[in-house]
Amino acid sequence: MTTSQAENFIIIGVTLDGQAFRPSDWAERICGVMSAFGAERRMAYSPFVQPGTHEGYKSVFVDGGLYATEPMAYTFLINFAKDNQLKVTPA
């Protein structure tokens, strides 16, 4: 996956060798980094980076629109998945 053509993708909380990624709240932590305070003075996840489950594993759903807004954040997420050898699938 290249950043020259931003795509929607899912980072799945399982390594390429089949091990569940730890810690168990990793998806919420990553999405928390991308969150901001809203009008109600509460933290809200970015509309581009959302936690969830996929294939029974904690996952992070990334909207390709993030690249247009924050290309470094988009690249960070791609590199996070690569560095931790996590499974990534198109969304």
Residue 4: pLDDT band (50, 70, 90) is low
pLDDT of 62-86, one tens digit each? 999 999 999 999 999 999 999 999 9
For residue 5, pLDDT beyond 90? no
Asked whether residue 1 is domain-assigned, the answer is no
Instruction: Note whether 27 and 72 are within 8 A (CB).
Output: no
Distance of alpha carbon 64 from alpha carbon 74, whole angstroms: 8
Regarding predicted confidence, which is higher, 51 or 42?
Answer: 51
Q: What is the mean pLDDT of the chain?
A: 92
Taking 70 as the threshold, does the pLDDT of residue 19 lie above it? yes
Average pLDDT over residues 31-41: 86
User: Domain tally for the chain?
Assistant: 1
What pLDDT does 38 receive?
73
Q: What is the CATH number of the domain that holds 20?
A: 3.30.70.2340
Q: What is the residue range of 29's domain?
A: 9-90
Q: Is 4 inside a domain boundary?
A: no
Q: Is residue 9 within 8 Å of 91, Cβ to Cβ?
A: yes
DSSP 8-state class, residue 74:
H
Whether 55 maps to a domain, the answer reads yes
